[in-house]
Structure 1
């Protein structure tokens, strides 16, 4: 098993990635503010499921094969980009329509407060992001010594990333839930949907347009 020193060093590296605002942050904040508590926890769990899966796949060498295959990488890249554009497009459509239910202050966001629904969205978003695979293929070899059990080390290192990600996203969720009454107001909700939608569509477009350079 990796030593505490190795785990701590890995934690310092992935901590920067964890707290950097990105797709995960946009999904969780939007879900916590508008989708409901259960859906937000589901998104967090799904994101960490995807992170662990990428860690295991990288340790097993599966993601290295994906990165080495231009066709496989491009297929995953375009599928992932299309999925992100679809999610972001739905948010933009919700922002444009601005439908309300249960009174003028409660927006209809097109999602249900379902843990399973949030988990599916978080998992799919993470697994369909080829950059996560590239990140782990580039990073794990720096921490796994030759001859060490690859899967065991991959699970341990990805577990560190999962813990850091879960803690950080939980803090963001608690903050968003604290101000949910204000965030759920019609005008604010439409703004959140619009900003999150643009951000997520932008992530999808960037993945699609980046080509095979990695």
Structure 2
């Protein structure tokens, strides 16, 4: 199992650093709300990965891949969510930044009633973004079983591999957060902020269009 896990980590590393909606969510959250908020969004992504991992161990992702209706339903939901994120970012770019909407020191003061609600909203965004991407489920279904020895219980082994993937993901997210934090002062200037919101909006919509164009 150790050899399989090490081999899986090499493949998972490539998947982790490949550009996708999860990375964009973390990057945008860092710029708009700070490091703590970005890590909360990243935590939501990891919870989505665990959900897909459990579904894979139980054989549910195989049903998703085998059923055109199920795959299409998840794909359409994912497309709608990504486009909604993109439209919301473009709309936010039109609003002037003010002291009430600026992020506080903990990155949780973004106009919501309180830190707990804001934290849950950030985690939910990362979670839903990951969960509504059927490609993650199909990749897990096709990839994870190849690295699980025949004499090893499926569910614990699957959760171990997903945990390794998530650890790599958090290291990657930490790198993204650090890089964005170093540039945050310049990126939060009103004119630059508008351009960044516009860019992330276009990127989210682009991911949605690409997902819509793909078939199961």
TM-score, with length taken from structure 1? 0.89
**Out of 176, 179, 183, which is 1:179 matched to?**
183
Whether contact under 8 Å (2:78, 2:129) holds in the other structure is yes
The residue aligned with 1:6 is 4
Whether contact under 8 Å (1:44, 1:169) holds in the other structure is yes
The residue aligned with 2:63 is 65
Whether contact under 8 Å (1:98, 1:186) holds in the other structure is no
Which digits, 9 at most, give the CA deviation of each residue in 1:169-196, with x for residues without a partner? 0121122122221111011111111111
The residue aligned with 1:116 is 120
Whether contact under 8 Å (1:44, 1:170) holds in the other structure is no
Deviation of the 1:89 alpha carbon: 0.8
Whether contact under 8 Å (1:41, 1:115) holds in the other structure is no
SS at match of 1:208: helix
Change (3 A) 1:202 1:111: farther
Which contiguous aligned blocks of 4+ residues in structure 1 show a shift greater than 4 angstroms?
110-113
Deviation of the 1:131 alpha carbon: 0.2
Measured in 1, the distance between the counterparts of 2:209 and 2:33 equals 24
Q: Which runs of 5+ in 2 are unaligned?
A: 104-109
Which digits, 9 at most, give the CA deviation of each residue in 1:142-185, with x for residues without a partner? 11123421101110000110000011101211221222211110
Query: Is 9-18 or 28-37 further displaced after alignment?
Result: 28-37
Matching of residue 137 in structure 1 with residue 141 in structure 2: yes
The residue aligned with 1:192 is 196
Whether contact under 8 Å (1:28, 1:40) holds in the other structure is yes
The residue aligned with 2:87 is 89
Q: Which runs of 5+ in 1 are unaligned?
A: none
**Out of 196, 205, 209, which is 2:209 matched to?**
205
Measured in 2, the distance between the counterparts of 1:192 and 1:166 equals 23
Measured in 1, the distance between the counterparts of 2:214 and 2:17 equals 23
Whether contact under 8 Å (1:89, 1:197) holds in the other structure is yes
**Out of 155, 168, 192, which is 1:151 matched to?**
155
Whether contact under 8 Å (2:16, 2:172) holds in the other structure is yes
Measured in 2, the distance between the counterparts of 1:62 and 1:206 equals 24
Paired residue total: 205
Measured in 2, the distance between the counterparts of 1:144 and 1:37 equals 35
Which digits, 9 at most, give the CA deviation of each residue in 1:26-80, with x for residues without a partner? 1111100112333211111001111121122112211111111111111111011
Deviation of the 1:115 alpha carbon: 2.1
TM-score, with length taken from structure 2? 0.89
Report the RMSD for the aligned CA atoms in angstroms.
Answer: 1.8
